[in-house]
Structure formats: structure tokens, C-alpha cells
Amino acid sequence: GAGVSQSPRYKVAKRGQDVALRCDPISGHVSLFWYQQALGQGPEFLTYFQNEAQLDKSGLPSDRFFAERPEGSVSTLKIQRTQQEDSAVYLCASSPNGRATNEKLFFGSGTQLSVL
Amino acid sequence: AQRVTQPEKLLSVFKGAPVELKCNYSYSGSPELFWYVQYSRQRLQLLLRHISRESIKGFTADLNKGETSFHLKKPFAQEEDSAMYYCALSRYNTDKLIFGTGTRLQVFP
């Protein structure tokens, strides 16, 4: 594969709608991160998986946000009852390392979510 | 709380001029510091890490623990350096990154 793949590239949702954002990491990568980047801001950590285990979800802003990686490869970030403040670019990143992930961390192009 | 501050939203220079993008951090432990770059229509990618102490594309950054800074420097800017630059911190033994708000570097011909 060419790298970390995210879909859809753009998503427009009506307020209150549920959305699902997909991340295909580089094959064989152990670690997977989700970040949220609001307009004019830097990326902010949401959650981290090592294989299928969600080891850190401290950055999820509310219980409307849920992430899974059931088979240790593809991950889905789900947002229920979207609000306007959820509008952002959602970035996925993967690493072949289980530790020291920042030595080799590869970002996807992101999904731009707009909530109307 | 950990924080990364990039005071400049935009830095404009002419080709050949020196560049310094400022980054200050707040963390009581021993952090790992990074610079990430995003060129137009490209993905966020790692530029350099303080641990590796290397120069990438002519850029260097020195961790100054006394001033809690990790400024990015290049002696002679090139047009292709125009991009968005993010400073980031990772706490020891944990791996999530804490990013600053970014500085857009514009290099004019």
C-alpha cells in the first residue's frame, strides 16, 4: 500500500447524525493513533491502539466518540449525534513499533468532517 | 499540564534569509521533542527529533532545557521550505504527541 489510508476524504453531516470514519494503517503496523485537528489548531490526541487493544482513550472528548480496531488492522472512529464543534480534520497515524512509536509514525491524509 | 507554544502563526522571509521558528514547551519531566512539517497538499510528516540530533533538509533544532525551548533553525531558507511546521512533545515512556498550533513559513523568491 501507499501508506495510511483514510476514508471518506470529506464528510458532511447534519447535526445529530451519526458518522463513521475509517482508517487503513500500513500493513503490519502494530500501533494506531487517532488525532483531531480543528481549524487553525494543531492535532490533538484522541485514542491509541496497540493491535486490537485500546490502551489509551483519554483524549476522546465525550461518550459520543467511540473507536475500535477489532482485528488489529483497520480502525473505525464513530461519532454519535454529531455537533457543530465536532467539525475538524480527523487524522489517523500508524507505527510498526509497539513502543517508541514516534521513531516511525506515519500519518494519513485525514477525513475532513463538517457538521452543519 | 503539558503544553507546546508556537508564538508565531506566520513567518515570512526571502529566499536565502535565515529562519528561526520558535517553540516553547511546558513539562516537568524529560520530554522528547519533535518538529513535524506539512507541505501543501501533503501529509503530516516527521522532520526531526531532538534525540537524533541530526540535520534534515538543512534544518536543526536544539533542546534547551533551561529555557524549555526547541527552536527550529535554518541558515538559508529555500522556496521549497514553505510549509506548515508543528512542534510536538511526547512525555517520557508514553507515546502520544502534544502538538503546538503550528507556524506557517512562507519563503518568497
C-alpha to C-alpha distance for A88 and A62, rounded to whole angstroms:
15
Closest CA to B33 of B22, B25, B42: B25
In this predicted structure, the answer to whether residue A26 has a pLDDT above a threshold of 80 is yes
- Summarised one tens digit per residue, pLDDT across range B48-96 is 988 777 888 999 998 898 999 999 999 999 999 999 999 999 986 557 9
Check A108 against B102: CB less than 8 A apart: no
Query: Is residue A42 very low, low, confident or very high in pLDDT (cuts 50, 70, 90)?
Result: very high
Asked if pLDDT for residue A113 goes beyond 70, the answer is yes
Give the residue on B whose Cα is nearest the Cα of A5: B43
Confidence class for position A29, pLDDT limits 50, 70, 90: very high
Out of B46, B96, B98, name the one closest to residue A33 (CB). Answer: B96
Answer whether A31's CB lies under 8 Å from A98's CB.
yes
Lowest-pLDDT range of A81-95, B24-38, B77-91: B24-38
A20 lies within 8 A of chain B by CB: no
What average pLDDT score do residues A78-82 get?
Answer: 98
| Mean of the per-residue pLDDT values of chain B | 92
Is a pLDDT exceeding 90 seen at residue B1?
A: no
- Cβ–Cβ contact B97 with A under 8 A: yes
DSSP A52-101: TEEEE-TT--STTEEEE-TTSS-EEEEESS--GGG-EEEEEEEES-SSSG
Q: Is B45 touching A (CB cutoff 8 A)?
A: yes
How far apart are alpha carbons A77 and B28 in whole angstroms? 32
